[in-house]
């Protein structure tokens, strides 16, 4: 069972969306959501921050219209509003996530 817990706001203007995506933690959250292609449990979207900090980052992304909060089988999840973003800002999400994936893959290769 999936229920939206609140109505999704409209997609914010470009500067607001870019501001939401400029933070490395939020960018990683969006990258993980895009790569998952579905709603993801909140705790799976971050590694090195605490829950209250994650809540702050989710709020910024929600207010920009980038994500929405859902409850799936009693678990709070986040869903990327990919279709809405692409309709409002065509191509932006693909370019940003592709760049984030390349950067992530490069960082992973450096660790090996």
69: three-class secondary structure by DSSP: strand
More confident residue, 105 or 62: 62
Summarised one tens digit per residue, pLDDT across range 37-53 is: 999 999 999 999 999 99
Summarised one tens digit per residue, pLDDT across range 26-39 is: 999 999 999 999 99
109: confidence class by pLDDT, cuts 50, 70, 90: low
Summarised one tens digit per residue, pLDDT across range 12-24 is: 999 999 999 999 9
Architecture of domain 8-101: Orthogonal Bundle (1.10)
Mean pLDDT computed over 56-69: 98
Asked if 7 contacts 69 with a C-beta cutoff of 8 angstroms, the reply is: no
Which DSSP string corresponds to 7-42? PPPPPPPHHHHHHHHSSHHHHHHHHHHHHHTS-EEG
pTM of the model: 0.87
- Tell me: pLDDT of 7 over 80: no
Name the nearest CA neighbour of 67 among 43, 91, 85. 85
Burial of 97 (0-12, 13-18, 19+ CB in 10 A): buried
Summarised one tens digit per residue, pLDDT across range 65-94 is: 999 999 999 999 999 999 999 999 999 999
What 88-93 contacts at long range (C-beta under 8 Å, 24+ apart), as own/partner pairs, is 88/10, 88/11, 89/11, 89/14, 89/17, 92/14, 92/17, 93/30, 93/34
């Amino acid at each position: 069972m999936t229920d939206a817990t609140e109505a999704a706001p409209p997609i914010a203007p470009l500067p607001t969306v870019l501001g939401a995506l400029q933070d490395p933690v939020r960018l990683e959250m969006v990258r993980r959501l895009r790569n998952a292609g579905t709603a993801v449990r909140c705790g799976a979207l971050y590694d090195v921050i605490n829950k209250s900090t994650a809540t702050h980052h989710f709020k910024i992304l929600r207010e920009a219209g980038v994500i929405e909060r859902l409850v799936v089988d009693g678990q709070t999840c986040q869903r990327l509003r990919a279709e809405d973003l692409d309709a409002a800002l065509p191509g932006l999400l693909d370019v940003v996530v592709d760049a984030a994936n390349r950067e992530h893959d490069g960082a992973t290769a450096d660790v090996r």
